[in-house]
Amino acid sequence: MNTALSWIKAYVPDLECTDQEYMDAMTLSGTKVEGYTRLDKNLEKIVVGQIQKIEKHPDADKLIVCQVDIGDEVIQIVTGAPNVKEGDKVPVVLDGGKVAGGHDGGPLPEEGIKIKAGKLRGVPSNGMMCSIEELGSSRDMYPEAPEMGIYIFEDDVPVGADAVELLGLRDTVFEYEITSNRVDCYSVIGIAREAAATFRKPFILPEVTVKGNGEKVEDYISVEVQDPELCPRYCARVCKNIKIAPSPKWMQRRLAASGIRPINNLVDITNYVMEEYGQPMHAYDLSTIAGHKIIVRRAKDGDVFQTLDGQERALDSEVLMICDAQKEVGIAGIMGGENSKITDDVTTVLFEAATFNGANIRKSAKRVGLRTDASGKFEKGLDPHNAEAAINRACQLIEEFGCGEVVDGMVDVRGEMKEKVVLPFEPERYNRLLGTQVSREEMLAIFKMIEVEYDEASNNLTIPTFRQDILRQCDIAEEVARFYGYDKIPTTLPTGEATTGKLPFKLRIEQKARDIAEYCGFSQGMCYSFESPKVFDKLLLAADDPARAAITIANPLGEDFSIMRTISLNGMLTSLATNYNRRNKEVRLYELGNIYLPKALPLTELPEERMAFTLGMYGDGDFFTMKGVVEEFFDSIGMRKKAVYDPDAGRNYLHPGRQANIIYEGTLVGFLGEVHPEVCDNYDMKTRAYVAVLDMPAILPLATFDRKYEGIAKYPAVLRDISMVVPKEIRAGQIESVIVQRGGKILEDYQLFDIYEGDQIKEGYKSIAYSITFRAKDRTLEEADVTAAMKKILNGLESMGIELRS
């Protein structure tokens, strides 16, 4: 909301402060000022001049030479403006002065434009006459200004006076950010009341009196509200013998500063009252209202209505309409109809000031696809009391401007008005909540400023109806805090029972995952939780793959963000591809992020959110690099047993010969592998890429930070190397199972130290060599112990068709 400070001062006449002081103080008391603009920015040395004589320029057809009286002297000004004549009073920038912009009305330069005396085609010119655009405004805001030409004042302005002042530009426009709970502050009066309280100056409301013409409003109009739920109050008044004309300059200036274009007296009055009171109003041409009757009712499904902007609007039974005896004449609270709009020929006007159900207006505006200034105010839920004040104010202005006569009385259809909120005055409670020691007297002084009444006898506070946000004691405490000053509230730390700060186990494990990944050269990425359903095809998932059962967002930002991911790979592959396409070499990324698995679709309960630890890389390194990271991580979280790698993982997105499920203690905890070349193609990556995905909820119960020291071996170890020729299809893991099963208690460790396929090895076989370590904790091993264990192992291996090499 934008408002000129001069308008605020109209209700707080004693207010005196700099613009910056005003901004800071208002912001600190809760009416946030986003910024301000001085309207006289870059307007310097500009006075009213009267053109005494105009002569042709001797050397230029399009220029004229003017003698201009600027009060204390007459100066010569050369201009090309076509619209001036002798006797005109115009704004004149003197030598060394400044204007805000060019005559084309383009963007205003930050430093303005300096004006200096000089010669135009050889003739001296000692200043410049200005157009409204050069003064930083526009014809929209100053409709009386001529198109393409110098602004011309009315005859009664004094020569030599400050032209900027006369144009109402010695003013500052403040931009406010009003919070949604302060409906009352979407009005000049509301803000002025806050300003008065902030600066502790008297607040003076306009005195509203309407003379009336002695006729009765009931003879002109009747109102029937069929849906009082959606329309708690409907006020109607009638004005006749309307004479459409421009509104007074002071009103035009205030509207212009608020960003509202002055149109004519009638429109300006309704706009002015909406700004001033925060109550939208509507004016109907009474001659268009059939049966001189207003009916407020819901539209019917399928109805179509033409609003006064000429657009056809589709309606339904949730939309409230203003109708006459025959037809709809407006969408309640949103926009009037083309069929009842005011034209210059109007003679009798029906004013409407109503209150509508905020939520209904909000929804209707959305459905109809039309959000207006009026609906923006109504949807916040207006105070029904304000409607009456506003409509009377409008009638007062009609009389004041002499542009019509007001018919006596108001048709007022309303249900039960809400009672005022009454709360006991509990100063200790407010201090207890705030941690302050504000005195009772100070509090009462604050309440007085904001029109909260205190009754000593009952010790009760009565809240004015316009403060719909004050319902409980905590709301009162906030009022005390705001005007006492948030900055004056002390700073303390909570006392009371000490609590232990902690990071839960899950988050500690995730921290470890980050540490290990980074130690292994992986940097942390972050991916979106939603993605496109197309990723399932990109990842080659089978048509019946359970991962395709994803949660769909009802109102997504687009297909690319329309489902909640059920698999973390797309984010990782997209990130790798981004890097690949930007020619980044050697990329290793990891991500810790949730996947979302629905228990049933459509969703009836919350889905399962499973944290996935996803690693991805291309460049240096291969499957076993990735496997190394996985095992480093397991090691670091106390998973010291050997994990089993099952190559029959059946994952379509991975290379069929280079993938494995990771099984730990019989639990599937994740998988790893080389990305399927076709998937790489789908992501535009012409390189091998490797991924690992660990299912953190499966890992958590297996992880531990407990460690137990086992003692460093006292007795010597015995090493045995075995070298074998193994049928190709037997995997190292199978050999290791045999070693583990048959090595007995004295088996300490085994390491694969050589693997070879090629010339010296017969077709279909490979050569593998292990070094096996035996040790007993309590004694030095005898040769016989080791031989026995080795024999068992070797027998086992031989039974698998493995040949031992000497």
Instruction: Show contacts with other proteins in window 503-522 (CB under 8 A).
Output: 503-504, 506-507, 511, 514, 517-522
- Check residue 804 for interaction with other proteins (CB under 8 A): no
428 belongs to the binding site for other proteins (CB under 8 A): no
Tell which positions 18-57 bind other proteins, by CB under 8 A. Answer: 27-30, 32
Contact pick of 460, 584, 741, 780 for other proteins (by CB under 8 A): 584
Site for other proteins in 731-770 (CB under 8 A): none
Which of 266-274, 409-417, 551-559, 736-744 is the region at the interface with other proteins (rule: CB under 8 A)? 551-559
User: For the chain, how long is the longest CA-to-CA vector?
Assistant: 131
- The residue among 602 and 701 lying less far from other proteins, judged by its C-beta, is 602
Neighbouring-strand partners of residue 107: none
68 bridge partner residues: 51, 75
Quote the CA–CA distance of 59 and 591 in Å, as a whole number.
77
Could you say which of 25, 60, 159, 433 contacts other proteins (CB under 8 A)?
A: 433
Candidates 85, 119, 502, 640; binder of other proteins (CB under 8 A) is 502
C-beta closer to other proteins: residue 130 or 517:
517
CA dist., res. 178 & res. 185, Å (int) = 7
Closest C-alpha to 672, from 655, 685, 684, 687: 655
Give the residue, chosen from 148, 474, 755, 800, that forms a contact with other proteins under the rule CB under 8 A.
Answer: 474
313-372 residues in contact with other proteins (CB under 8 A) are 358-359, 362
Distances (CA, A) of 802 to 33, 117, 763, 768: 84, 107, 14, 10
Q: Does residue 533 bind other proteins (CB under 8 A)?
A: no
How many Cα atoms sit within 13 Å of 673 on the Cβ side? Answer: 26
Among residues 631, 625, 526, the alpha carbon closest in space to that of 575 is found at 526
Give dist(CA 45, CA 34) in Å, integer. 30
Q: Vertex 548, ends 546 and 552: CA angle to 5°?
A: 125
Residues in contact with other proteins, shown as a per-residue x/- string from 166 to 195 under the rule CB under 8 A: -------------xxxx-------------
CB closer to other proteins, 97 vs 598: 598
CA atoms within 13 A on the CB side of 483: 24
Residue choice 83, 213, 264, 529 for contact with other proteins (CB under 8 A): 529
Which of 66, 70, 283, 589 binds other proteins (CB under 8 A)? It is: 589
- CB of residue 609 vs other proteins: minimum separation in angstroms? 6
Told to check if 422 binds other proteins by CB under 8 A, we report: no
* 24/400 with CB nearer other proteins: 24
Which one of residues 298, 313, 565, 588 is an interface residue with other proteins (CB under 8 A)?
588
Instruction: Give whichever of 501 and 701 is closer to other proteins, judged by the CB atom.
Output: 501
Return d(Cα 750, Cα 720) in angstroms, integer: 9
User: What are the residues whose beta carbons fall under 8 Å from the beta carbon of 430, sequence distance 6 or more?
Assistant: 436, 438, 443, 473, 476, 477, 480
Asked if 726 contacts 781 with a C-beta cutoff of 8 angstroms, the reply is no
- Which of residues 494, 546, 666, 764 is near other proteins by CB under 8 A? 494
- Using DSSP, state whether 151 is helix, strand or coil: coil
| Residue 505: partners with Cβ closer than 8 Å, 6 or more residues away | 700
List the one residue from 436, 468, 659, 682 that touches other proteins (CB under 8 A): 436
Interaction of residue 590 with other proteins, rule CB under 8 A:
yes
Should residue 594 be labelled a site residue for other proteins when binding is judged by CB under 8 A? Answer: yes
**602 makes contact with other proteins (CB under 8 A):** yes
The token pair that represents 123 in the structure block: 């003739």
Site for other proteins, residues 225 to 254, rule: CB under 8 A:
none
Tokens of 440: 């009772």
As beta bridge partners, residue 667 has 664
DSSP string, 422-441: EEE--HHHHHHHHT----HH
Measured from the CB of residue 627, what is the shortest distance to other proteins in angstroms?
17
Tell me: does residue 708 bind other proteins (CB under 8 A): no
Of 145 and 516, nearer to other proteins (C-beta) is 516
# residues near other proteins by CB under 8 A: 89
487 binding other proteins? (CB under 8 A): yes
92 forms bridges with which residues in the sheet? 47, 129
**The two three-digit tokens of residue 795, written as one number:** 């027998």
Binding characters for other proteins, 374-403, by CB under 8 A (x = yes):
-----xx-----------------------
